[in-house]
Amino acid sequence: MARTKRKAAKSGGKSSAREKLIAALNEDLAGELGAIVQYITYAAKTNGPYRPQLSEFFLAELPDEEGHAKFLSNKIVALGGEPATTPRPTPAATTNREMLEAVREAERRAVADYTKRVEQAEAYGDKGLQVQLENIVADETGHFEETERILREWPV
């Protein structure tokens, strides 16, 4: 009797851990969809003498973010969830500097969120997800560092 109870509690725990993981991955997915909108919009809004390079820089991030969004959507379905379709809102920004600062903040958040998610995937016991998320942490760290270096000596 006690044994059956323990077993039920254990499987309930696993399913609630799965639901928490799905909800967190859906937050990340909303962030990726938001990043796609953010980069497309900001690439269109750059102005001034650095417009060609800056637009190209923003657009060059898109394949990574799209890849992350595709991976998360598939994983959420694999876990039995329904993928989010609403992007996280793009912060209002007018100048090139404001756009770069908003991107740096979004990438900083992505690194922090995925770092937490790696731990969550490990606790859940999904090694494959853990490894994929670690690769995403590496991608987002690269995005953060490149943006931070552009801002480090941004002239205006």
# residues near Fe ion by CB under 5 A:
6
For the bound state, the minimum distance from the C-beta of residue 35 to Fe ion, rounded and expressed in Å, comes to 6
Per DSSP, the three-state class of 4 is helix
Output 17 or 143, the one with its CB closest to Fe ion. Answer: 143
Which range in 3-11, 73-81, 86-94, 105-113 contacts Fe ion by CB under 5 A?
A: 105-113
Q: Find all residues with CB under 8 Å of 27, minimum gap 6, and list them.
A: 84, 113
Minimum CB separation from Fe ion for residue 61, in Å? 6
Shortest distance, position 145 Cβ to Fe ion, whole Å: 11
Would you call 115 exposed, middle or buried from its count of C-beta atoms within 10 A (0-12, 13-18, 19+)? middle
Placement of tokens 């600062």 in the chain: 101
Distance CA 99, CA 141 (A): 18
> Tokens 């937490």 appear where?
116
In degrees and rounded to multiples of 5, residue 126 shows phi and psi of: -105, 95
Does position 126 interact with Fe ion (CB under 5 A)? The reply is no
Residue selected from 29, 111, 143, 147 as contacting Fe ion according to rule CB under 5 A:
143
* 140 contacts Fe ion (rule: CB under 5 A): yes
Judged by CB under 5 A, which of 68, 75, 88, 104 binds Fe ion?
Answer: 68
Rounded to the nearest whole angstrom, what is the least distance from the CB of residue 65 to Fe ion in the complex?
4
Q: Enter the tokens of residue 52.
A: 């060609």
Stretch in the footprint of Fe ion (CB under 5 A) among 43-51, 82-90, 135-143, 147-155: 135-143
The binder of Fe ion chosen from 65, 81, 96, 104 (CB under 5 A) = 65
Token pair for 14: 């696993």
- Kindly state the greatest CA–CA separation across the chain: 75
28 binds Fe ion (CB under 5 A): no
What are the tokens at 43? 């690439």
Interacting residues toward Fe ion by CB under 5 A: 32, 65, 68, 107, 140, 143
